[in-house]
Chains A and B, each alone.
Chain A
Amino acid sequence: MANDIYNTIRAALETHLSTTLSGTDIAYENVAFSPTTGTLFVKPTFIPTVTQPATRGLNPQLLYQGVFNVMVNAPEGSGPSLADTTCNTITNAFAATTDLSIVVGAETYIVRIRYAERQQGRIDTPWYAVPINIGWYIYNT
Chain B
Amino acid sequence: MKSTITVNSSFYNKLKHLDALAVDSVKGRLEDIARTAVDYSPVDTGAYVTSFSYTIGAGRPRGKSSDNLPKGQSLEGKQEEGYGNLMQDISRIKSIEDLDNIQLRNGSPHATDVEYGENWYGSGYFVFAKLESIYG
Q: Look across to chain B and name the residue whose beta carbon is closest to the beta carbon of A120.
A: B112
Contact present for B112 and A127 (CB under 8 Å):
no
Given A49-B133, A67-B133, A133-B132, are A35 and B126 neighbors across the interface (CB < 8 Å)? no
Once A and B bind, how many residue pairs between them come within 8 Å at the CB atom?
44
Is B123 interfacial (CB-CB < 8 Å)? yes
Q: Which of under 10, 10 to 19, 20 to 34, or 35 or more describes the interface residues of A?
A: 20 to 34
Contact present for A47 and B136 (CB under 8 Å):
no
Report chain B residues within 8 Å CB of A65.
Answer: 133-134
Is A139 interfacial (CB-CB < 8 Å)? no
Is A115 interfacial (CB-CB < 8 Å)? yes
Q: Look across to chain A and name the residue whose beta carbon is closest to the beta carbon of B131.
A: A49
Contact present for B123 and A45 (CB under 8 Å):
yes
Report chain A residues within 8 Å CB of B120.
Answer: 27, 35, 43, 71, 73, 124, 127, 129
Contact present for A67 and B116 (CB under 8 Å):
no
CB-contacts of B116-136 with A (<8 A)? 116, 119-121, 123, 126, 129-130, 132-134, 136
Report chain B residues within 8 Å CB of A135.
Answer: 132-133, 136
Pick the 4 closest A-B CB pairs, nearest first. Answer: A49-B133, A67-B129, A133-B129, A67-B133
Given contacts A67-B126, A127-B120, A131-B116, 17 further A-B pairs with CB under 8 A are A27-B120, A43-B120, A47-B129, A47-B133, A49-B134, A50-B134, A66-B133, A67-B133, A69-B116, A69-B126, A69-B129, A71-B116, A124-B119, A124-B120, A129-B120, A133-B129, A135-B136
Listed by A's residue number, 15 A-B pairs whose Cβ atoms lie within 8 Å are A27-B121, A35-B120, A47-B130, A49-B130, A67-B126, A69-B129, A73-B120, A115-B132, A115-B136, A117-B132, A122-B112, A124-B120, A131-B116, A135-B133, A135-B136
Footprint of A on B, CB under 8 Å? Answer: 112, 116, 119-121, 123, 126, 129-130, 132-134, 136
